[in-house]
Amino acid sequence: MVGGRQLGTRMLRLYLPLAACLILMLFPFYWMLITSIKPNRELYSQKVMPLIVHQPTLQHYIDLLTETNFLTWTYNTMLVAVITTAVSLVLGTMMAYPLARMKFPGAAVVAIGVAATYLVPQPLLFIPMADIINRLNLGNTLTAVMLTYPTLLIPFVAWLLMGYFKSVPKELEEAARIDGASRFQAMVRIVLPLCTPGLLSAGIFAFTLAQNEFLYALIFLAKSDVRTVPVGAITELIRGDVFYWGQLMAAALLGSVPVAIIYSFFVDYYVAGLTAGSVKS
């Protein structure tokens, strides 16, 4: 049969490995989903076949939304992520623009500084930072994380945007300046609109990083009503040795939804951002 052998190689080289990749990468999410809708008698039974749900229930979701502060945590997470993303985009853009397009004394030092702050990881800073936040009396406030998240996001945004800003030809800006635009106007009206994809990539990336942050939130937010979703889930749905598995999974799933939705709309920008750091630089 014509094509039979072709189908065989395609099976072996594409479909089988692809299926294996998809199953391995997605199984934990499937597991999250079905655990969250299993009744406790199925969850905690070694006799029931665990790979499917026999009697689905929404009880864990109801408990999560009514008996815990999950909605407050979600609100906190979103608030912090949106504000820190916005602040980091503005400050990061303001840093990247001159670094990418202008010659001025000190440019090299600042550029190296930005790269170093991006690469020096947060674990080197969290202990002194905890003491500083304490002395500023900011413990258990969202201000503490709003002040610290941009330290992770600004260097990243600046670094990513520098690549995009460099790609805009200088002539465009010069033409605008000859027509009487100031430097600032040339930036806002000419260069930034051309770099919209870069700004979107940076924004989405910063937003996912902010949603993912855990260490600062864990240290600074010890009261339930100021917690973010990751910290709330791991500290309050696990009490001592008691794990509320159904609720934990429901929280994990619901907590992933905002990131997943934004990501699904802008997946191309996300991938562009992911690769820009390594491919373009």
Partner 1 sequence: MVDRRAPPRRLLEREGAFSWVMLAPGVLFLLAFVAYPFFYGIYLSLQERQVAKAGVFVGLANFVTLFHDGVFWQVARNTFLYTIVTTVLKLLGGLAMALVMNQAFRGRNLARAFLLLPFIVPTILSTVAWMWIFDPTFSVINWTLVHTGVFSQGFSWLGNATLAMVAIIIVNTWRGIPFYGITLLAGLQTISPDLYEAAAIDGATVNQRFWHVTMPIIKPILVIVTMFSIIFTFSDFQIVYALTHGGPANATQVFVTYAFDLGMSAGQLGMGAAVALTMLPALILLIIGLTFYLRRE
In the range 72-91, which residues lie near partner 1 by CB under 8 A? 91
> Please, what is the minimum distance in Å from the beta carbon of residue 158 to partner 1?
7
Q: Does 166 bind partner 1 (CB under 8 A)?
A: no
> Please, what is the minimum distance in Å from the beta carbon of residue 66 to partner 1?
20
Instruction: Give the end-to-end CA distance of the chain in Å, rounded to a whole number.
Output: 49
Q: Does 145 bind partner 1 (CB under 8 A)?
A: no
- What does the alpha-carbon distance between residue 269 and residue 34 come to, in Å, rounded to a whole number? 31
DSSP state of 240: T
**Residue placing its CB nearer to partner 1 in the complex, 33 or 194:** 33
- What does the alpha-carbon distance between residue 225 and residue 160 come to, in Å, rounded to a whole number? 34
In the range 102-141, which residues lie near partner 1 by CB under 8 A? 102-107, 110, 112-117, 119-132, 134
Q: Does 23 bind partner 1 (CB under 8 A)?
A: no
DSSP state of 193: H
- What does the alpha-carbon distance between residue 277 and residue 119 come to, in Å, rounded to a whole number? 12
- Residue of 58, 62, 175, 267 interacting with partner 1 (CB under 8 A): 267
- What does the alpha-carbon distance between residue 106 and residue 56 come to, in Å, rounded to a whole number? 62
- Part in contact with partner 1 (CB under 8 A); list of ranges 53-61, 63-71, 146-154, 160-168: 146-154
Q: Specify the amino acid at residue 154.
A: I
Q: Does 68 bind partner 1 (CB under 8 A)?
A: no
